[in-house]
Amino acid sequence: MSSISKLSNPNPTYLPTSFNPKSFLPKCLIDINANSSAFTKRVSSSRLSVSTNHAFRGSLVVRCSQLDGNGSQIKRTVLHDLYEKEGQSPWYDNLCRPVTDLLPLISSGVRGVTSNPAIFQKAISTSNAYNEQFRELIEAGRDIESAYWELVVKDIQDACKLFEPIYDQTDAGDGYVSVEVSPRLADDTEGTVEAAKWLHKVVDRPNVYIKIPATAECIPSIKEVISLGISVNVTLIFSLARYEAVIDAYLDGLENSGLNDLSRVTSVASFFVSRVDTLADKMLEKIGTPEALDLQGKAANAQAALAYKLYQKKFSGPRWEALVKKGAKKQRLLWASTSVKNPAYPDTLYVAPLIGPDTVSTMPDQALQAFIDHGIVSRTIDSNVYEAEGIYSALEKLGIEWGYVGSQLEVEGVDSFKKSFESLLESLQEKANSLKLVSL
C-alpha cells in the first residue's frame, strides 16, 4: 500500500460538500450518571500532585453513535472558567461520527479537537457510521489506504466547520482540529513534508492543524512545513531537550517563511504527560528505596512545569519580538496524554496541576468528565517551579536518565500509532471483503 505522500490520487473526489452545522440540532448521546461511591485518591506531599476525595455528582459522557445521535444543550461549566480566567484552552482528545456529537461539548466549553491513528482506529473499526462512504469509495476504485484517508478527511473537515466560529472569534488563536500524518513516515523527513502539504491541501480548512511527530527525523520537516505557511501540531514530545528543538524549528520556520504577515501560521507543541510517569514509576519501583518510591507520580508534572519555564524563556527577547512585529503567535504548549493510567492517582492529576496561560489541555473522556465534575480552576503550572526543579534533579540523582525516558517513550509512541494504523487498514480490508466489494 502506498504511503500518504505517494498516493496515486492526491486529490480525492469524495470529499464533503456543503456542511452547515446550523442546519443540525445538536446530536449526541449523553449520560448523566449518578454515583454515590466516593473516589479515594492517593495523597501526596507534593504540590505538583493533586489529591481528591469526593463522590462523582454526575459525569458528561459522549458516546460515538453508530448511525445517528441525539442530545441536549450543555450549561456553563468549569471549562469556560478555565479559558476565561486562566487562559488555558480545553480541547477534546477524540473524534468520531457523527461529528455533531461535538456540539454539546462545544457548548460546555471545549475549544478544539485532537485526533490520532489510535482514535480513528477505534472510531472506524467499531462503528457502522463509515460504511456508506467506505462502500462508495471502494466501488469507485479506491485502494484501502486511500479510502482510509478520505474517511479521515471528511471527519476533520466537518469538525473544522463546527469549530470555525471559535477560530474566527479568536483571530486564529483557537478552535483547531488536528489530523496526523501517516505514522509510517516518522523517520522520513521529506515524506513527512509532502504528507503535510497533501493533508493541508485536501482538508482545505483554515483551522486544521497537521500533526507531525517530534522525532529527530521530523524536526527539519516541522521547520519546512511552518515555512510554507502551514499550521502544525507537533506531537509525541517527551523530553525538555526535544521540546527545545521543536520550539527552534517553529521559530526557524517562521523566519524562513518570507511572509510579511505571520498571524495565520500557528502551532502547538504537544508535551505528553502521564506516559512519563508510567515509565518513571516502573524505574523507581525497581530502585525500591523510600526516596525513590516517594517520587512516584511526580516526574511527569515536574518535567511539564520545567517545559513551561522553557516556553516562557524561548518566547521572549529580541528574536521573538522581531517575529511578533510580523504578527507571529506563540507556539502554545499543549498537555497531551492527560488521562490517569494508575488508578491510585487522582483522576485530574495531569490536568489540575498544569493550568496556566497560553496553554492547551487536550482531554479524553475520562479526564474531561473528571475535571468538569470536580476540577478546580487556578493557575498552577508555575506555582512552585523550585519544587519541580528539585524533583527533576532528585530523579537524576537516583539514576533516572531523562534522555532515556524521552527516547524510549518516543519509540513506544510511534510504534503504538503504527500498530493502530496497520490494524485499522486490516480492519478496512476485512470490511471491504465482507461487503464483497474487493478481493484479497
Q: List, in sequence order, the alpha helices (H) in 87-239.
A: 102-107, 117-125, 131-139, 144-169, 189-203, 219-227
User: DSSP state, 100?
Assistant: G
**Among candidates 272, 412, 242, 278, which has minimal Cα distance to 334?**
272
3-state secondary structure 61-90: EEECCCCCCCCCCCCCCHHHHHHHHHCEEE
Write down the catalytic residue from 41, 154, 161, 211. 211
Question: Quick check: is 197 catalytic?
Answer: no
Q: Residue 24: left if φ>0, alpha if ψ -120 to 50, beta else—which one?
A: beta
Return the number of other C-beta atoms located less than 10 Å from residue 81's C-beta: 16
**Among candidates 342, 339, 338, 347, which has minimal Cα distance to 297?**
342
Return the number of other C-beta atoms located less than 10 Å from residue 423's C-beta: 15
What is the C-alpha separation between 360 and 186, in angstroms, rounded? Answer: 24
What is the C-alpha separation between 330 and 323, in angstroms, rounded? Answer: 10
Positions annotated as catalytic residues are 211
